[in-house]
């Protein structure tokens, strides 16, 4: 089962996407072409499958973080409840 992306804004400077993950849902493996910011709307754990291995990260609603272009991973909801975040890609 895959996470559900909903593009909210897509213009010359940014793409803003809301990601909704049912329990166990994932994004599929992908590589980020742009720098991006994640704004968690839910507190919980996401599992990251990366080229160097698998790790779990704790995210807190409202505590944003940024990552550079080139990040490669599959993101999975490791919680027993829906997890939601907004991703802002900088073009």
How many structural domains are present in the chain?
Answer: 1
For residues 39 and 16, what is the distance between their CA atoms, to the nearest angstrom?
A: 10
**pLDDT for residue 79:** 98
CB 42 within 8 A of CB 82: yes
**pLDDT for residue 62:** 98
**pLDDT for residue 27:** 98
- For range 63-73, the mean pLDDT: 97
Range of the domain at 10: 4-90
**pLDDT for residue 35:** 98
Question: 3-class secondary structure for the chain?
Answer: CECEEEEEEECCCEEEEEEEECCCCECCCEECCCEEEEEECCCEEEEEEECCEEEEEEECCCCCEEECCCCEEEEEECCCCCEEEEEEEEC
CB 45 within 8 A of CB 59: yes
**pLDDT for residue 24:** 98
Local confidence band at 6 (pLDDT 50, 70, 90 cut-offs): very high
How many Cβ atoms are within 10 Å of 75's Cβ, its own excluded?
Answer: 23
CATH number at residue 23: 2.60.120.10
């Amino acid at each position: 089962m895959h996470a559900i992306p909903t593009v909210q804004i897509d213009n010359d400077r940014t793409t803003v996407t809301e990601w909704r993950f049912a329990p166990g849902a994932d994004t599929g493996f992908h590589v980020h072409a742009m720098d991006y910011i994640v704004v968690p709307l839910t507190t919980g754990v996401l599992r990251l499958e990366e080229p160097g291995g698998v790790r779990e990260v704790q995210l807190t609603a409202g505590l944003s973080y940024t990552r550079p272009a080139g990040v490669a991973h599959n993101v999975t909801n490791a919680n027993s409840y829906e997890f939601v975040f907004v991703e802002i890609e900088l073009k």
